[in-house]
Structure 1
Amino acid sequence: MKRIKNISIGFLVSFLGSIPLGYLNLAGLEIYSKSGWHNLVFFLFGVVFVETFVIYFTLLFAKKLIQNKKLLKIIDLFSILFMFILAFVFYLNFNHTEKSNHFLQEYLLYSPFVIGIILNGVNFLQLPFWTSWNLYLLNKEYISVERDLKYYYIAGTVIGVFLGMFSLIVLLQAIFQKANQFSILIIPVFIPLFFIALGIIQIFKGYKKYKSC
Structure 2
Amino acid sequence: MKSLKNILVGFLISFLGSIPLGYLNLVGLEIYTKSGLHDLVFFLFGVIVIESLAIYFTLLFAKQLLNNKKIMKLIDFFAVGFLFVLAFVFYFNFNSTTKSTYTFQNYLIYSPFVIGIVLNCFNFLQLPFWASCNLYLLNEKYIEAERNLKYYYLAGTLAGVFLGMLSLIVVLQTFFQKTNQFSTFIIPVFIPLFFILLGGIQIYKVYRKYFKA
TM-score when normalising by structure 2: 0.96
Question: Secondary structure of the equivalent of 1:147?
Answer: coil
- How far residue 9 of structure 1 moved from its aligned partner, in angstroms, is 0.7
Cα distance in 2, alignment partners of residues 97 and 128 from structure 1: 39
Residues 67-76 or 89-98, more deviating: 89-98
Distance 1:163 1:141, change over 3 A: same
Instruction: State the partner residue of 2:57.
Output: 57
Question: Secondary structure of the equivalent of 1:204?
Answer: helix
Distance 1:163 1:97, change over 3 A: farther
Gaps of 5+ in 1: none
1:80 aligns with 2:80: yes
The C-alpha deviation readout for 1:129-151, integer Å capped at 9, x for no partner, is: 11110111111111100000000
- How far residue 25 of structure 1 moved from its aligned partner, in angstroms, is 0.4
Give the share of equivalent positions with the same residue, in percent: 70
Instruction: State the partner residue of 1:144.
Output: 144
Cα distance in 2, alignment partners of residues 79 and 210 from structure 1: 14
Cα distance in 2, alignment partners of residues 198 and 55 from structure 1: 23
TM-score when normalising by structure 1: 0.96
Cα distance in 1, alignment partners of residues 103 and 11 from structure 2: 35
Which amino acid in structure 1 is aligned with residue 62 of structure 2?
Answer: A
Cα distance in 2, alignment partners of residues 157 and 16 from structure 1: 10
Which amino acid in structure 2 is aligned with residue 200 of structure 1?
Answer: G
Instruction: State the partner residue of 1:157.
Output: 157
Cα distance in 2, alignment partners of residues 212 and 189 from structure 1: 33
Cα distance in 2, alignment partners of residues 48 and 134 from structure 1: 17
Cα distance in 2, alignment partners of residues 3 and 209 from structure 1: 37
Instruction: State the partner residue of 1:176.
Output: 176
Which amino acid in structure 2 is aligned with residue 153 of structure 1?
Answer: Y
Cα distance in 1, alignment partners of residues 181 and 99 from structure 2: 21
Instruction: State the partner residue of 1:126.
Output: 126
Aligned length: 213
Which amino acid in structure 2 is aligned with residue 210 of structure 1?
Answer: Y
User: Where do residues 26-37 of structure 1 align in structure 2 (5 Å cutoff)?
Assistant: 26-37=26-37
Which amino acid in structure 1 is aligned with residue 66 of structure 2?
Answer: I
